[in-house]
Structure 1
């Protein structure tokens, strides 16, 4: 595939007035103290202030505000997770076109007038515009850094500026390919631009990350607790950028770079791994065991980059953290009222992202703890609506059984036309035994079963070897599925209030997977297997673990000022701290033994769940097997972590895997959808030298193939 674009020059008006002001107005500018999130916000500075030493320090701190944008609205998932093998549409269709790739996904964007479900659909211009705001601020710091006399402070500012500029151009290049490279502060209303080639754009991304890596003073934290960019952060993204340039999407021109890029990427990844040390011991502690603002889950050495948030409304800026809305099923609707939503449950039931069959099946359901520490499968009854059945507050109200294709336990169960109230009393499956006042804990609680218990709502994935999960649906598509818990937040002050938790953007487990992929591309499969086994060792059950135990960020409600009265009761009744591990694996006896996920051969003799995926894709050959195994491992480790579309586009596997595993990605097209459309609003703003509009042919030259 050849996506290399020619460099195009547009000559237009001379520059006269500054555009930096508009960029800065989009940022939350703070004073430079220990934690910038705790400081008073102001956007009253003049552009001249940012030519002073103190102004540049303040502007450097403000760069952290630019990354919050990524998680402030519907684009968080539309740009990064839709249209891939992992997630498809649920019943809300706000960003449906980003998943189906239909003609509404175009340069203009979709509105209700052009077929969008509502006015919240993500525009292709969203990322383009916002990234250039951050780039403008970084350019100001880089251009004026010499006014900072203290070398240490100057280098610190340069490190942050080069990092954010590199990161923002990385995001642009990953989505659009070659883009406009604006590397100096702009003066005036700039309407003459060059579009760089893919090759030139990636060279700039890599150059900025190299500079950031050089300027950073090791693992020195300067601008905030638990969220600060360091030398390891720059090393991680330098490795990612080098790997991107060496990957399949750039096959038309990258041959001369591959060997050197992979070698340098390995060195950069190795620095990050050595600098930050071992992975966090328990996968649950990365996301599920989030107990409140600035809790231990946000201070882990494994976290290399996070979008910072807290509970101070004065620092939230234009975009807060809305990510808790997007992964949860519509439990308050399909439960028939048995489970009401509220701040005591960590996620809103906006039903945007429904896992695909692949996403459930790619896990080892028995031995991989990540599955049961990620999917929420049990909700408790917090509202009894029918006293004629034997259900009380705090009983299981929604039970999602994630069984496997070869399981025949539930073959004879008839769900009937009304699936809201199936009666499990005739089923010889196992439901968690429930006694008044009993709760699961990490090491204790009921692990046995009570097959006679009635549950108002229940779901299985498979019957008679058929994937039946989508049959549990309302109009137009399924809204009954197991959501993931990586964004749940019980600290919210209102049901629809912004979340207060940081959003992890990079962590050390991915660094291992990046390095493993580099090794695999160099056919050093033994080294690749060692890195993969490091990640998988953490994923295995440890001796003594209660496999029925579950927790998510709802637990932060325990420290919420709203945790009084009926809200406190709703919290206890809704969050039962249990999963459906034993229901989903009915042949497994209760155990607290350790499990083993280690690979003994790579890329041959892969686990059964991986061989099934490779067979479905028609994959053969050592390198292809290795690459697709690593993509599978990325799902298991990084499900929902805002980078799947980019990863599949980079590796040239987006079309193949979306077609195989996303039944709604029906319009995805080769040599088109591996890139996003350049925003038409930007192209239409370009002028010829005489001030006239570009001709249709010249506008078309700016657009990506197929649009």
Structure 2
């Protein structure tokens, strides 16, 4: 059973109070908010244990608002902005992305825009708590409890500094509890900052008791979690962004990264059986999808009122197209559809073309391509609730099936069908089962809205419903949540922050950097083999977290009908691969040569990037594989910045990133509000040139 973790409300470096949880003999799930305590409470073993539990609340912040995607996914090769421009500057890199913040006064679209100060401020909250635990740990007499508290404190401090360094470079290293108001700090170098992060993760790795789920499986950090992030930090220090100073560390760091990832892989066992198990097959609060051994770290959420608000899970808002608007009213939004249509994150062409559209099941278990009609607009068309209302055809560049069609409001002028705007019937049986499913039971069914990726070899998808930017695209389903109690209510599902498939890809990259391409290929194949279609698997079946609505108290009356009519459990696999016969055969994604003779889709991408040489080909293939496996999982910007590929890949694949600038945008601006608040030791203001020295280049 998973623990309910409440938010950590300790204050940044200056005042520290925490919400403390009462203990419960039978079930940690039933803990309730008890009281606020003065800092003296944290001079006791009980207080430090409660403060340790509260650390889990700090990581929930990452997914509570627009910053979840702004600083992690925008401005990369994978996602660009759709018609909503709340965080446009994080994608375009224009002058509004600066140290002064982001709001209408500085040119942002609205007050929801993400300020570069958001992460900076929030990470130090958790660091303050961790410092208190580390400083006071000696008062804990029980060795097991002391090591457990230290392991968590070192891990959270290392993780928070990791997030800061990944975005800003060298930062302020506050390693002891602050006394009074402190306004004179020193900024550590990149080298010093990464040394501290690695030290903290090493300490966490040493103090954890192995795979002991102290606070409940599916939430608790373990030795494998620490090993995963230790390897990530070591790989970061050894990567291209730190080429100016890291040469003496590289060999040892790569070897240690291999050792740390090997522990995690061996300790946590195999990957989940089916890629769908990780995200699409989420059935409700604390469901089996959140208990998988593959999950190494997650931000905990549930249906308790204390996990709502700014620290609630808002991620279901950001990946979905504006279906209620472009559908002409045929598909209304509501809690029965697992995602809100906030149209923040539009996949780039790269994010579609990087997949093998036929053999890689991850594509069809990730992208939502069909919405059912839940509101009949025109009775004369003969459409009924539950008929397809929106159909997105994810074809490939070499497909000529749809060259002469006029898309948009409907599929028009098909030369292989009798009636305009009608779709074929795929003889696969009835819907709502995992072994069969049909797009429609009526041959030649009219569909009010349709989209295609390619016509005549040209990527035409952004031309659909552009006002002025496309709001009609296939979104991803990794955050869909049908358990919400209101249309805009918080989601109740955990947010996965680290899992074993990435651990394999981290080790593969370390092997590549060591020149061990055979070992790297073995790890990559482990990930790709799980992505294959299984024998007997229905390739047109689709499901996502909307299914949690089946167990939602709101699932009554018309809402129940809307759920059934909206979520049709099917995709456009066969429409998107029109030359493919219906099959339930297993597919094969196994690499037999690496990094030479890569799959066709990778060769095309590497050609566009102008990549050559074994190392560069291998590195960029892994970046492609990370997209296929980890699309939308909150870390793309840091990965590209770390590997020195941010400018190259973003300028190639993200047309909206018009102002991205080398030697500037690989780092974020240090918040000006922080710099303005700094004083010299004598209390005087910093000289202008000293203030300037705090800021990252180019800002």
TM-score normalized by the length of structure 1: 0.95
Q: Match of 1:3?
A: none
Q: Contact between 1:35 and 1:223, CA under 8 Å: does it hold in 2? A: no
| C-alpha displacement of 1:317 | 6.3
Please give the per-residue CA displacement for 1:463-513, whole angstroms capped at 9, x wherever unaligned.
000000000023220000000000000000000000000000000000000
| C-alpha displacement of 1:431 | 3.4
Q: Contact between 1:80 and 1:642, CA under 8 Å: does it hold in 2? A: yes
CA RMSD of aligned residues (A): 1.8
Secondary structure in structure 2 of the residue aligned to 1:344: coil
Does 1:562 find its partner at 2:551? no
Secondary structure in structure 2 of the residue aligned to 1:578: coil
Hey, what's the Cα distance between the residues in 1 that align with 2:429 and 2:519? Answer: 50
Equivalent residues, number: 686
Secondary structure in structure 2 of the residue aligned to 1:388: helix
Q: Match of 1:383?
A: 375
Does 1:607 find its partner at 2:608? no
Hey, what's the Cα distance between the residues in 2 that align with 1:318 and 1:661? Answer: 33
Query: What does 1:10-21 align with in structure 2 at a 5 Å threshold?
Result: none
Q: Contact between 1:309 and 1:502, CA under 8 Å: does it hold in 2? A: yes
Find 1:30's aligned residue among 16, 21, 44: 21
Query: What does 1:240-251 align with in structure 2 at a 5 Å threshold?
Result: 240-251=232-243
Q: Contact between 1:395 and 1:434, CA under 8 Å: does it hold in 2? A: no
Hey, what's the Cα distance between the residues in 2 that align with 1:196 and 1:332? Answer: 49
Find 1:517's aligned residue among 509, 519, 522: 509
Find 1:167's aligned residue among 159, 163, 170: 159
| C-alpha displacement of 1:442 | 1.3
Hey, what's the Cα distance between the residues in 2 that align with 1:345 and 1:237? Answer: 34
Find 1:678's aligned residue among 655, 662, 670: 670
Q: Match of 1:398?
A: 390
Hey, what's the Cα distance between the residues in 2 that align with 1:481 and 1:362? Answer: 16
Hey, what's the Cα distance between the residues in 1 that align with 2:548 and 2:11? Answer: 42
Q: Is the alpha carbon distance of 1:681 and 1:72 closer, same or farther for their aligned partners in structure 2, counting shifts above 3 Å?
A: same
| C-alpha displacement of 1:174 | 0.3
Query: What does 1:533-544 align with in structure 2 at a 5 Å threshold?
Result: 533-544=525-536
Secondary structure in structure 1 of the residue aligned to 2:311: coil
**Structure 1 unmatched ranges of 5 or more:** 1-17
Does 1:74 find its partner at 2:63? no
Hey, what's the Cα distance between the residues in 2 that align with 1:356 and 1:220? Answer: 41
Secondary structure in structure 2 of the residue aligned to 1:379: strand
| C-alpha displacement of 1:28 | 4.5
Does 1:327 find its partner at 2:311? no
**Structure 2 unmatched ranges of 5 or more:** 1-9
Mean Cα displacement is larger for which, 470-479 or 586-595? 470-479
Hey, what's the Cα distance between the residues in 2 that align with 1:608 and 1:128? Answer: 42
| C-alpha displacement of 1:115 | 1.2
Hey, what's the Cα distance between the residues in 2 that align with 1:435 and 1:534? Answer: 34
Does 1:420 find its partner at 2:409? yes
TM-score normalized by the length of structure 2: 0.96
Query: What does 1:302-381 align with in structure 2 at a 5 Å threshold?
Result: 302-316=294-308, 318-381=310-373
Please give the per-residue CA displacement for 1:123-179, whole angstroms capped at 9, x wherever unaligned.
000000000000000000000001110000000000000000000000000000000
Hey, what's the Cα distance between the residues in 1 that align with 2:97 and 2:67? Answer: 13
Q: Is the alpha carbon distance of 1:106 and 1:427 closer, same or farther for their aligned partners in structure 2, counting shifts above 3 Å?
A: farther
Secondary structure in structure 2 of the residue aligned to 1:194: coil
Hey, what's the Cα distance between the residues in 1 that align with 2:20 and 2:275? Answer: 35
Q: Contact between 1:395 and 1:573, CA under 8 Å: does it hold in 2? A: yes
Hey, what's the Cα distance between the residues in 2 that align with 1:36 and 1:496? Answer: 29
Mean Cα displacement is larger for which, 315-324 or 116-125? 315-324
Find 2:101's aligned residue among 109, 112, 127: 109
Secondary structure in structure 1 of the residue aligned to 2:433: coil
Hey, what's the Cα distance between the residues in 2 that align with 1:256 and 1:631? Answer: 25
| C-alpha displacement of 1:24 | 4.1
Q: Match of 2:6?
A: none
Q: Is the alpha carbon distance of 1:155 and 1:208 closer, same or farther for their aligned partners in structure 2, counting shifts above 3 Å?
A: same
Mean Cα displacement is larger for which, 474-483 or 440-449? 440-449
Q: Match of 1:92?
A: 84
Q: Match of 2:629?
A: 637
Find 1:123's aligned residue among 112, 115, 124: 115
Q: Contact between 1:41 and 1:315, CA under 8 Å: does it hold in 2? A: no
Q: Is the alpha carbon distance of 1:309 and 1:23 closer, same or farther for their aligned partners in structure 2, counting shifts above 3 Å?
A: farther
